[in-house]
Structure 1
Amino acid sequence: MGKTLRCLLIAIVAAVPVLLAACSGSGGDQTKIRIGEVTRSIFYAPQYVALSQGFFKEEGLDVELTTTAGGDKTMTALLSGTIDVALVGSETSIYVYQQGADDPVVNFAQVTQTDGTFLVSRKKIDKFDWSMLKGSTFLGQRKGGMPQMAGEFTLKKKGIDPQKDLKLIQNIDFANIPAAFSSGTGDYVQMFEPQAAVIEKEGKGFVIASFGVESGLLPYTVYMTKKSFLTKNAKTIQKFTNAVYRAQQWVADKSVDEIAQAVIPYFTDTDKEIVKAVVKRYKEQQSFATDPIVDEKEWNNLQDVMQSAGELKQRADYKTLVDNSFASKAIESAKK
């Protein structure tokens, strides 16, 4: 064998592990992680950005995303091991804790920091005052859910007793609320996006106030998992949180048009102009958290809201149900 050929073969053999490592890094060596989102919503834009921009993949994660449709179903899926991580309201972790769970559910990365619902009126109101709601029929959200609690908290702040001053309707499923309002139920409705923007575009209602602005900062939607999973899969959770933080920074830095373009693959049945309008509304009211830290002051505000709604047996310890170590490391890592 000639010297030139021998050198060429040695070079090829030396290069193979490098090539294989490169290939495995792009997909073959990825860790699978299953996310269950409580609903499909533009409110969770950072999550879809992390997916569409490849941030999870670059961290070596193969994400399987399912919509688990409702807080109860999402938590059941998490506790049963059907999913690894839940994106859901942080109040659900408190409910599990109140039931005396041996393996508590821990919040480790915040995604949204305000309520995501809006007050929609059937009639256009140029000069709205909250006192106008007194004596009206109000189509609210499910009792015990964070939207309803934030809604009631806001109403009480405005001097309205939800149980006495309104005809309060709470027995309509979340998915059917827009249709119920469109068909004539209620003078006012508490509604998520993009349904509020769609109703507005169709001329069937008008957005007149934001419950997110009025109820203050909250750890509204958070990634959480069982403490046992967190302990056994710390490296995976760190990679996951790194990707989330990158997406949050991306959303904070980019324009409404760019964000809408990034999330639109997950909302193929929604008009692009509606997507842009919703992103703009949430971005302007600072609903998207800019880092994954679950702030203690916001956690206490959440429990104030729950307590006001009569849904809190006892206050949950912040350090027991929140672990910010992964969020802190993600922020520090990004600085290097």
Structure 2
Amino acid sequence: MKKRISLLMGMVMTAAALTACAGGAKTPATTAAQTKAEETKAEETKAEETKAEETKAQEITKLRIAYMPNMGSASLAVTARDKGYFKEMGLEVEMVEFQGGPAEIAAMASGDIDISQIGHGAHALCASGEAVIFQIDCTSLADAVIGNKAKGINTIEDLKGKKVAVTSGTSAEIILNLALKSKGMTTDDVELVEMDANGTVSAVISGNVDACATWSPGTGTIMKALGDNGIMLANNQDYLDQVTFPSSFITTQKYADSNHDVLVRFARALQKAGDYRAENIDEVAKLVAKQCEVDEATMLATTEEGNWLTGEFMGKALADGTIKSYYENQQKVFLDAGRLEKPVDVNNYVLFDIMQEAYDENHK
């Protein structure tokens, strides 16, 4: 009897052990299933996040950019566009040609243009509150005062009483003012004829005016056409001890207030393009020639008419205040010329924070 009971108890214990083993076997299988489900969910979440990021990246910001048909004005934006730097930053640009900075600023005020590239002279309008600067481009050597010897002009003094074509509010007008001032003269001593850049070239070559203040590539076209009768009376190089001639990208205060990120991305593209331009200036000149619909030789002849700034320069010049000094010294010229009534803090119209943020993002 005892033997039977012992046998029965043994069977019961064995069954219990088997049941326990069977129950324990479910734990790893259940855990594996749960892990697989969690991994699948994590992958789906990651895929959704990636898709969201790709969708955001595909939301291209479209911009209308004003430029003038010369190396100093068009080269940086053309490089950024043609070499893919704008695209890299999620920007799609339409470049619109103008004949001068003041007209570009008027177009921005009306909402027809988002961003403009301006030469030295139009910066006075920024200091007056009509626009804000957010990226320096280059320093220009492209402006000149040219006389026609056949009209009796051989020196700056010979401009007295002569017809001089000029585009108001431009860098070339500043050069004319400085040239006249150097000889104790003012614009009251000459007969100014208001013209855009294209009209100036035609007027000088045809002899309808006696001299002009303009910029490249028009200067080269005029000198070539006049031949031995053409004489360069003054240019930027003559006054570098008095002022630097920066050109810049600008926008309206309203646009800047609502599009900080867009301006940073735009400035990042420009700063990257600046490095490419400096290293490949002849190639860039050919791109600009195509954009401006002029022959390559004309644009290649202007590659020395600018100091093509790089990212390395940008970092150092922002840190030591060089760029700020450019705009401060520039303002002194406007004050001396009567373009501004009183000094203005450059921080009021130059967005150094955009330049710095763009530089920092590009050099992480």
Q: Which range, TM-score by smaller chain? A: 0.7 to 0.9
Instruction: Give 2:108's match in structure 1, choosing from 66, 78, 81.
Output: 78
Instruction: Give 1:111's match in structure 2, choosing from 137, 144, 153.
Output: 137
Task: Give the Å deviation of 1:63.
Answer: 1.1
Please name the residue that 1:7 is paired with: none
Instruction: Give 1:321's match in structure 2, choosing from 324, 349, 353.
Output: 349
Tell me the distance in 2 between the aligned counterparts of 1:203 and 1:333.
49
Tell me the distance in 2 between the aligned counterparts of 1:123 and 1:58.
51
Tell me the distance in 1 between the aligned counterparts of 2:285 and 2:123.
30
TM-score by length of 1: 0.77
SS of residue in 2 equivalent to 1:274: helix
Q: Tell me how large the CA RMSD over aligned residues is.
A: 3.4
Instruction: Give 1:153's match in structure 2, choosing from 151, 159, 178.
Output: 178
1:150 partner amino acid? I
Contact 2:124 2:331 in 1 (8 A): no
Q: Mind listing any 5+ residue stretches in structure 1 that lack a counterpart?
A: 1-9
Residue 231 (structure 1) aligned with residue 257 (structure 2): yes
Instruction: Give 1:276's match in structure 2, choosing from 273, 291, 300.
Output: 300
Listed one character per residue, the Cα deviations across residues 272-318 of structure 1 (whole Å, up to 9, x for unaligned) are 11111122x314xx2x3445668222222222222222221222221
SS of residue in 1 equivalent to 2:207: coil
Q: Would the alpha carbon gap of residues 106 and 232 (structure 1) be closer, same or farther in structure 2, given more than 3 Å must change?
A: same
Instruction: Give 1:40's match in structure 2, choosing from 58, 69, 91.
Output: 69
Please name the residue that 2:291 is paired with: 266
Please name the residue that 1:29 is paired with: 59
Contact 2:155 2:233 in 1 (8 A): no
Tell me the distance in 2 between the aligned counterparts of 1:83 and 1:32.
11
Q: Would the alpha carbon gap of residues 143 and 94 (structure 1) be closer, same or farther in structure 2, given more than 3 Å must change?
A: closer
TM-score by length of 2: 0.72
Q: Would the alpha carbon gap of residues 213 and 71 (structure 1) be closer, same or farther in structure 2, given more than 3 Å must change?
A: same
Q: Would the alpha carbon gap of residues 59 and 173 (structure 1) be closer, same or farther in structure 2, given more than 3 Å must change?
A: closer
More helix by share: 2
Structure with more contact order per residue of length (Cα contacts < 8 Å, sep ≥ 6): 1
Contact 1:115 1:218 in 2 (8 A): no
Contact 1:90 1:107 in 2 (8 A): no
Q: Would the alpha carbon gap of residues 242 and 222 (structure 1) be closer, same or farther in structure 2, given more than 3 Å must change?
A: same
Q: Would the alpha carbon gap of residues 97 and 263 (structure 1) be closer, same or farther in structure 2, given more than 3 Å must change?
A: closer
Tell me the distance in 2 between the aligned counterparts of 1:140 and 1:309.
18
Q: Would the alpha carbon gap of residues 152 and 289 (structure 1) be closer, same or farther in structure 2, given more than 3 Å must change?
A: farther
Task: Give the Å deviation of 1:224.
Answer: 1.4
**Greater Cα radius of gyration, structure 1 or 2:** 2
Aligned ranges for residues 47-196 of structure 1 at < 5 Å?
47-89=77-119, 92=122, 94-95=124-125, 98=128, 105-114=131-140, 116-123=142-149, 133=158, 135=160, 137=162, 139-156=164-181, 158-163=182-187, 166-196=189-219
SS of residue in 2 equivalent to 1:111: strand
Q: Would the alpha carbon gap of residues 112 and 208 (structure 1) be closer, same or farther in structure 2, given more than 3 Å must change?
A: same
Contact 2:205 2:225 in 1 (8 A): no
Contact 2:334 2:340 in 1 (8 A): yes
Tell me the distance in 2 between the aligned counterparts of 1:91 and 1:300.
14
Contact 2:101 2:119 in 1 (8 A): yes
Tell me the distance in 1 between the aligned counterparts of 2:177 and 2:81.
34
Task: Give the Å deviation of 1:239.
Answer: 0.6
Instruction: Give 1:298's match in structure 2, choosing from 326, 329, 340.
Output: 326
Tell me the distance in 2 between the aligned counterparts of 1:41 and 1:20.
41
Task: Give the Å deviation of 1:238.
Answer: 0.6
Task: Give the Å deviation of 1:223.
Answer: 1.2
Contact 2:70 2:299 in 1 (8 A): no
Q: Would the alpha carbon gap of residues 313 and 111 (structure 1) be closer, same or farther in structure 2, given more than 3 Å must change?
A: same
Tell me the distance in 2 between the aligned counterparts of 1:154 and 1:290.
30
Aligned pair count reads 308
Task: Give the Å deviation of 1:183.
Answer: 1.0
Task: Give the Å deviation of 1:252.
Answer: 1.6
Task: Give the Å deviation of 1:178.
Answer: 0.9
SS of residue in 2 equivalent to 1:327: helix
SS of residue in 1 equivalent to 2:305: helix
User: Structure 1 residues 169-178 or 205-214, which shifts more?
Assistant: 205-214
Contact 1:50 1:243 in 2 (8 A): yes
Task: Give the Å deviation of 1:55.
Answer: 1.0
Task: Give the Å deviation of 1:185.
Answer: 3.4
Q: Mind listing any 5+ residue stretches in structure 2 that lack a counterpart?
A: 1-39
